[in-house]
Amino acid sequence: MNELKRLGIVTGYEFLKHIRRKRVYVILLLVLVTEAAVLAGFPALMGGYPESVNLMATLLSIGPTMAVIGAIFFSGDAIAGEFENKTGFMLFTNPVKRTTLVLGKYIAGCLAVAILTVVAYIVVCVSLLVIYQTIPVETAQSFGLCMLYGACIVAVTFFFSAVSKGAMGATVMTLVLIMVISGVVESVLMLAGQPYWFLISTAGDSITMVYGGIELMLAEFVPLEEMGNFPFELESPDIGRSVLAMVIYLVVGLNSSLIITNRRQLS
């Protein structure tokens, strides 16, 4: 049996493991609850839906973003779990190469994220059709960026899973990097007027920025006379650079996880 067939078997097995896990359905439930909260909460608080369909699409895109972030919780144990639970003694000593095993796990993780993302965008599209009878063309671009971001997040999680002693450590480190460290650095660089397109948190922002950027949000929620009072200039991230950043994180994260896993000793 060649490695390509082995890769298919590993991918299929790992994908079924994700489907059978409760955490996938918990994440899906959180996505649906989040979308429902936006659909019910916005008109309740603001007296109706916004006039701009693009603004509503921006608000609803929090669901797909949550779907991607949720990927961390079922990717953190992909590699670290095999060492932590000692299952690596059986898995990594069989004829299948470690590279094939990691790639199969990675593809399966991306497929699971893709399913969550597709469901989230179906909810977005149906909601916009019901409320506005139209779907912005930018939704397709947002979907593509979200899929790429998902692959990027899984690759970064795999890197931390490869270097971590346990699945919990990999999960926490990834969350801290994305939601704390990168977010804080982004704010500091924004205040200083320095480039911040290379941060992973900025890449995630691009999912919603395609609908009109920060300017769209400001126009709806900030009075015109107050727009000049900000201590720094607000501008939307460059989508092209965000795509480049995501590709870099994906390539570096996945390749690093492959190299580290191949060299890591079972103990």
3-state secondary structure of 95: coil
The pLDDT assigned to 266 comes to 60
* H-helix segments, the chain: 3-20, 22-46, 53-60, 62-70, 77-84, 88-91, 98-132, 138-163, 167-175, 182-192, 200-209, 213-221, 239-263
The pLDDT assigned to 236 comes to 66
Dihedral sign for Cα 144, 147, 153, 154, please: negative
Residue 18: partners with Cβ closer than 8 Å, 6 or more residues away: 24, 74, 108, 109, 111, 112
What CA–CA distances, in Å, run from 182 to 177, 185, 197, 203? 6, 5, 11, 10
Residue 68: partners with Cβ closer than 8 Å, 6 or more residues away: 113, 116, 117, 146, 149, 150, 153, 204
Question: Token pair of 200, please?
Answer: 């992973």
Question: Token pair of 187, please?
Answer: 């704010």
Which of 215, 217, 208 minimizes the C-alpha distance to 234?
215
Which of 17, 191, 194, 193 minimizes the C-alpha distance to 104?
17
Question: Token pair of 240, please?
Answer: 């092209």
CB 213 within 8 A of CB 234: no
Q: What is the pLDDT along the chain (267 residues), one digit of tens a residue?
A: 577 787 888 888 888 887 887 878 888 888 888 889 989 988 888 888 888 888 888 888 887 777 777 778 777 766 766 655 555 445 555 566 778 888 988 999 899 889 889 999 999 999 999 999 999 999 999 999 999 999 999 999 888 888 887 777 778 888 888 888 988 998 888 888 788 888 888 888 888 888 876 666 665 655 444 445 545 455 667 888 989 999 999 999 999 988 988 876 665
Question: Token pair of 242, please?
Answer: 């965000």
The pLDDT assigned to 225 comes to 47
Residue 137 neighbours by CB distance under 10 Å: 8
Using CA atoms, how far apart are residues 41 and 227, in angstroms rounded to an integer? 26
What CA–CA distances, in Å, run from 14 to 8, 51, 65, 123? 10, 44, 23, 27
The pLDDT assigned to 126 comes to 94
Residue 87 neighbours by CB distance under 10 Å: 11
The pLDDT assigned to 249 comes to 94
